[in-house]
């Protein structure tokens, strides 16, 4: 039993990148169903809009009576190729998915009305007083937080001095007792062993706790992450597939196709009236990014930190190799 357990443990220690990357891939595919169910449908719609735009431009260039009507000015149909609806349909259940939304109105006329209404509200005396009242509330809570934080800070500081520096004073008193054994710069000998008295040097409790936490937990986890990132970088097919899923989920490919479709259509029609409709559709497609913006920011920052650490380790390794080479040449 123990031998089997050790074999399984060695297997997972050697093959853990495969299992971790498999879990990450399955999670990304699951996000395409439960978090970004409209990504595939929007990409197919954008490709269809691009195809209709190409056909429309072809008819305009060769003076052919246009039988093809461009579709890029139509609003997205989020029930089309909805992955979540398809998934729940397999189990005979209805989909609880919601459609994306944006803060700007759908039509240009509504936008102009809201814009005029905004500036009227901005110059309104009642709203200005409400804004001042809001600022006073913010200042009140800020003052309340400072009033609670300052006594807490002094209390923690007092406890820290009472217990931590007491330990330091005790250690210092022991060192002084040992130092009294040294007279005229000569070490006194103990009566038992005859060896000189040495001043004990010990680490503080917070230092020992931090050292244990850093070497046992933080450093091991960080090196594990670094090794996993290096393993993934050596397999470009894997991370390129993940990148393709990210571009699909964040509608990057859809936005590019919609832009090209409207650009081709605009060259022949000069349709400025529907430009606002394209901006509205752009904000709808960006809803996927805005919904997970905090997570994406944390992931990017973590990736940049790990990458910088890897670069630093590489420089350290190069410097060590250079020192070894210099030592070898100096011996020669």
> Which mean pLDDT values do the consecutive 10-residue runs of the chain (332 residues) have?
76 84 93 90 92 88 78 87 85 75 84 84 79 90 88 80 59 52 46 49 72 86 87 92 93 93 88 87 88 69 70 69 71 64
- Is 52 in contact with 257 (CB distance < 8 Å)? no
Output the pLDDT for position 70. 85
Count of Cβ atoms closer than 10 Å to residue 208 Cβ: 11
Cα(44)–Cα(67) distance, integer angstroms: 21
Burial 155-174 (b: 16+ CB within 10 A, else e): eeeeeeeeeeeeeeeeeeee
Count of Cβ atoms closer than 10 Å to residue 74 Cβ: 12
Output the pLDDT for position 46. 93
Output the pLDDT for position 177. 53
Tokens of 86: 């398809």
Sorted by sequence, the CB contacts under 8 Å of residue 229 that are 6+ apart come out as 303, 306, 307, 310
Tokens of 78: 């989020």
Q: What is the CA radius of gyration of the chain?
A: 34
In SS3 terms, the chain reads as CHHHHHHHHHHHHHHHHHHHHHHHHHHHHHHHHHCCCCHHHHHHHHHHHHHHHHHHHHHHHCCCCCCCCCCCCCCCCCCCCCHHHHHHHHCCCCCCCCCCCCCCCCCHHHHHHHHHHHHHHHCCHHHHHHHHHHHHHHHHHHHHHHHHHHHHHHHHHHHHHHHHHHHHHHHHHHHHHHHCCEECCEECECCCCCCECCCCCCCCHHHHHHHHHHHHHHHHHHHHHHHHHHHHHCCHHHHHHHHHHHHHHCCHHHHHHHHHHHHHHHHHHCCCCCHHHHHHHHHHHCHHHHHCHHHHHHHHHHHHHHHHHHHHHHHHHHHHHHHHHHHHHHHC
Output the pLDDT for position 184. 43
């Amino acid at each position: 039993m123990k031998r089997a357990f050790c074999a399984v443990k060695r297997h997972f220690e050697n093959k853990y990148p495969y299992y971790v990357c498999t879990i990450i891939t399955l999670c990304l595919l699951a996000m395409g169903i439960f978090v970004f169910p409209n990504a595939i449908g929007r990409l197919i719609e954008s490709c269809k809009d691009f195809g209709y735009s190409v056909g429309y431009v072809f008819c305009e260039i060769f003076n052919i009576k246009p039988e093809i009507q461009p579709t890029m000015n139509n609003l997205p149909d989020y029930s089309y190729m909805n992955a979540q609806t398809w998934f729940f349909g397999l189990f005979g259940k209805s989909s609880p998915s919601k459609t994306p939304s944006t803060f700007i109105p759908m039509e240009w006329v509504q936008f102009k009305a809201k814009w005029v209404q905004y500036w009227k509200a901005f110059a309104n005396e009642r709203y200005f007083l409400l804004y001042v009242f809001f600022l006073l509330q913010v200042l009140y809570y800020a003052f309340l937080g400072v009033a609670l934080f300052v006594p807490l800070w002094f209390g923690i500081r007092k406890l820290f001095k009472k217990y931590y520096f007491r330990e330091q004073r005790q250690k210092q008193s022991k060192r002084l007792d040992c130092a009294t054994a040294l007279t005229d710069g000569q070490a006194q000998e103990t009566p038992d062993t005859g060896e000189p008295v040495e001043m004990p040097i010990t680490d503080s409790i917070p230092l020992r706790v931090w050292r244990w936490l850093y070497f046992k937990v933080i450093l091991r986890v960080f090196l594990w992450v670094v090794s996993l990132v290096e393993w993934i970088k050596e397999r470009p097919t894997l991370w390129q597939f993940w990148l393709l899923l990210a571009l699909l989920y964040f509608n990057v490919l859809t936005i590019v196709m919609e832009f090209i479709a409207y650009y081709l259509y605009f060259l022949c029609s000069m349709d400025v009236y529907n430009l606002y409709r394209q901006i509205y559709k752009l904000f709808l497609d960006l809803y996927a990014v805005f919904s997970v913006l905090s997570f994406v920011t944390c992931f990017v920052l973590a990736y940049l930190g790990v990458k910088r650490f890897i670069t630093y380790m590489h420089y350290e390794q190069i410097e060590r190799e250079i020192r070894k080479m210099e030592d070898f040449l100096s011996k020669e």
